[in-house]
Chains A and B, each alone.
Chain A
Amino acid sequence: DAGVTQSPTHLIKTRGQQVTLRCSPKSGHDTVSWYQQALGQGPQFIFQYYEEEERQRGNFPDRFSGHQFPNYSSELNVNALLLGDSALYLCASSYTGALDWDTIYFGEGSWLTVV
Chain B
Amino acid sequence: AQSVSQHNHHVILSEAASLELGCNYSYGGTVNLFWYVQYPGQHLQLLLKYFSGDPLVKGIKGFEAEFIKSKFSFNLRKPSVQWSDTAEYFCAVNARNFNKFYFGSGTKLNVKP
Binding site for B on A (CB under 8 A): 3-4, 31, 33, 35, 40-45, 48, 56, 58, 90, 92, 94, 100-109
Closest chain B CB from A64 CB (angstroms): 15
Q: Say which one of B60-68, B70-78, B103-111 lies at the interface with A.
A: B103-111
Count the B residues whose beta carbon is within 8 Å of the partner chain — how many? 25
Give the distance in Å from the alpha carbon of A47 to the alpha carbon of B101 in the complex: 10
Partner of A90, one of B44, B99, B104: B44
Q: Is the interface of A mostly helix, strand, loop or mixed?
A: loop
Using a CB-CB cutoff of 8 Å, which residues 68-106 of chain B contact chain A? Answer: 90, 92, 94, 96-106
* Contact, CB under 8 Å: A42 / B43: no
- CB-CB under 8 A from B92, the residues of chain A are 42
Closest chain A CB from B95 CB (angstroms): 9
Known A-B contacts: A41-B105, A45-B100, A108-B42. Give 14 more (CB < 8 A).
Answer: A33-B99, A33-B101, A35-B103, A40-B105, A42-B4, A42-B90, A43-B103, A44-B103, A48-B100, A56-B100, A94-B99, A104-B101, A105-B46, A108-B43
Give the distance in Å from the alpha carbon of A104 to the alpha carbon of B93 in the complex: 11
Given contacts A105-B46, A107-B43, contact A42 B106 (CB under 8 A): yes
